[in-house]
Each structure stands twice: as C-alpha cells, then as structure tokens.
C-alpha cells in the first residue's frame, strides 16, 4: 500500500500503529480527527475486520524483531512465520534505537528491548538476550558476555579473557549457552521462552565459524566446537533455536485455543 491522501501520508505506517490500537481500545474509542479518517479508510477496505478475525485465530499482523543480526532475523522469521502476516527486522521497519541492557537477567534485557521496539512502532515486538555461563566462574560471563572484556571488546578480547580466567580450571570445564526470548503484542499480551545448550570450554579456539565464544564451546554429544559445526546443524541445537521452538509451541497452543 503506497502513499495516498497527499505525499506526506504513509498508510503503511498508519496501519502499523492505528490498527492494533483500534483492536485494543475498540472502534468506538475516542480518536483524533485525522485518526478517525484513517480508521474509516482501513474499515472501508476491510482491513480492520480482517485483522480482528486474524487476531481471534491467533494470527497477528506485523512483528518487528529487535535485532540487526541478519542470521538471527532469518532464524526467527522461519519459526515465527505461521503466526504473523509480516515479520521485519529493525532496518526493514525503518527503526533505529539503542537500548541499554542493564537488566539483571537475560529475560529482563530481552523484555526491555522488546518493550522499546513495541512502544516505538505500535507493533508486536520480539527480542532475545543470550550469553555464555561457565560453571567454574560462577555463571560468568552471563549477561555480560558481549562486554566481558569491557565495553567495545571484540570476540577475540572476550575469548582471551575467558581462557585467562579458566587457566587453572581442570577439564572438562562445564558451560552452557543460555537464551531468553520475549514477545510483546499490541494488546499487552506477553509470551516468553528460555533455551539452553550445555557443553564445555576448550583450552584454545577451534574453527572460525559462528561468533562470540563459539570457537571455544563444544556442545554435549559433539567433538567439534560451534565454530566448526555447520551453521545449519548448529541452528538445530543452539540455545536460541530451543527458545524459539518453545515460544512457537506457546503461540501454537494459543492459536489452537482461539480456533
């Protein structure tokens, strides 16, 4: 749907923000004059009723993923596709924001990011937060995984510090990747899921694939690191994949209840 009613009005953006609001507050709620005109257009074209029906069936209109990571976005799109008509990354939605991850858990950070995107867009928003938890370090680096060696640290910096901290720890050095995912809907609904992938830490990096601590992490049942395992195989067993599948199961159950 292109721009209509003058070159300055974008119906796509209006639909993204007003339709969820109308579904939440009801068509008879007080709207500004311009909003009433926009809603009349949407209603006249059957958009409101169609999306109201889809909402009852557990199908939502638009999801914005609070991430610029192309791989992560592609993985989420594949799993969430049955539940949304349109799934966009931040870039695709034309959004730019920087959320300070100062929560005390993966869940808190994920919810904060999702809430920021939902507030900015008026659409459903999904965000995740993940990290590496090493038993010998009391669960560190945990929520500080991306900045273990300090703000702006590279993956190499973080890996080097991890190995330094573990130099006196005997093998096997048990660890797990953890991921929390939070989905916020325009009507105030929330779904969240958690996933883990257990394994151990090597004494030196192996492989150049993946990112973060992947070259140092060997998942249970494997002899290769995440840096060596093909991406397609890693995506079947990763912490994020497990969290996404758990979230999809919740959405599927909700869809079944509304059918």
Q: Tell me the three-class secondary structure of 110-124, residue by residue.
A: HHHHHHHHHHHHCCE
Q: Is the pLDDT of residue 1 over 50?
A: no
Q: Is the pLDDT of residue 8 over 70?
A: no
Q: Give the C-alpha separation, 29 to 46, whole Å.
A: 19
Give the model's pLDDT for residue 18.
47
pLDDT digits (tens, 9 = 90+) for 97-123: 889 999 999 999 999 999 999 998 888
Which CATH number is 57-258's, of 3.40.50.720, 3.90.1150.10, 3.90.950.10, 3.40.50.920? 3.90.950.10
Say what the pLDDT of residue 255 is: 65
Q: Which one of 10, 102, 128, 129 is the catalytic residue?
A: 129
Chain segment 126-140, per-residue pLDDT in tens: 999 999 999 999 999
Peptide linkage before 122 cis (omega within 30 of 0): no
Report the candidate in 118, 145, 120, 117 with the shortest Cα–Cα distance to residue 131: 145
- Residue-wise pLDDT tens digits, 205-231: 999 988 899 999 999 999 999 999 998
Is 129 one of the catalytic residues?
A: yes
**pLDDT exceeds 50 at position 27:** no
Q: What is the mean pLDDT of the chain?
A: 81
Q: What is the pLDDT of residue 127?
A: 96
For residue 150, pLDDT over 80 is answered with yes
User: What confidence score (pLDDT) does residue 56 get?
Assistant: 47
State pTM to two decimals: 0.74
Q: Where are the domains of the chain?
A: 1-56, 57-258
Backbone dihedral region for residue 129 (phi beyond 0: left; psi -120 to 50: alpha; all else: beta): beta
Phi, psi of 40 (to 5 degrees): -60, -40
């Amino acid at each position: 749907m292109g721009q209509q009613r003058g070159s300055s009005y974008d119906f796509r953006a209006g639909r993204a923000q007003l339709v969820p609001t109308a579904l939440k507050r009801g068509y008879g709620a007080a709207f500004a004059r311009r909003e009433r005109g926009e809603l009349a257009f949407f209603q006249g074209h059957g958009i409101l009723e169609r999306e109201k029906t889809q909402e009852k069936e557990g199908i939502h209109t638009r999801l914005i993923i609070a991430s610029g990571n192309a791989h992560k976005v592609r993985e989420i799109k594949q799993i969430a596709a049955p539940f949304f008509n349109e799934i966009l990354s931040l870039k695709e939605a034309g959004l730019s924001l920087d959320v300070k991850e100062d929560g005390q858990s993966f869940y808190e950070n994920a919810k904060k990011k999702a809430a920021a995107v939902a507030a900015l867009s008026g659409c459903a928003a999904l965000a995740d937060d993940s990290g590496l938890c090493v038993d010998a370090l009391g669960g560190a680096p945990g929520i500080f995984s991306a900045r273990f060696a300090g703000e702006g640290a590279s993956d190499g910096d973080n890996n080097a510090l991890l190995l330094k901290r573990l130099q006196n720890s005997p093998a096997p050095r048990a660890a797990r990747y953890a991921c929390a995912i939070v989905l916020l809907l325009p009507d105030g609904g929330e779904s969240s899921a958690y996933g883990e992938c257990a394994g151990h830490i090597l004494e030196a990096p192996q492989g150049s694939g993946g990112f973060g601590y992947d070259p140092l992490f060997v998942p249970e049942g494997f002899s290769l690191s995440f840096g060596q395992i093909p991406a397609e195989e890693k995506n079947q067993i990763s912490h994020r994949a497990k969290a996404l599948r758990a979230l999809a199961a919740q959405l599927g159950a909700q869809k079944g209840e509304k059918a």
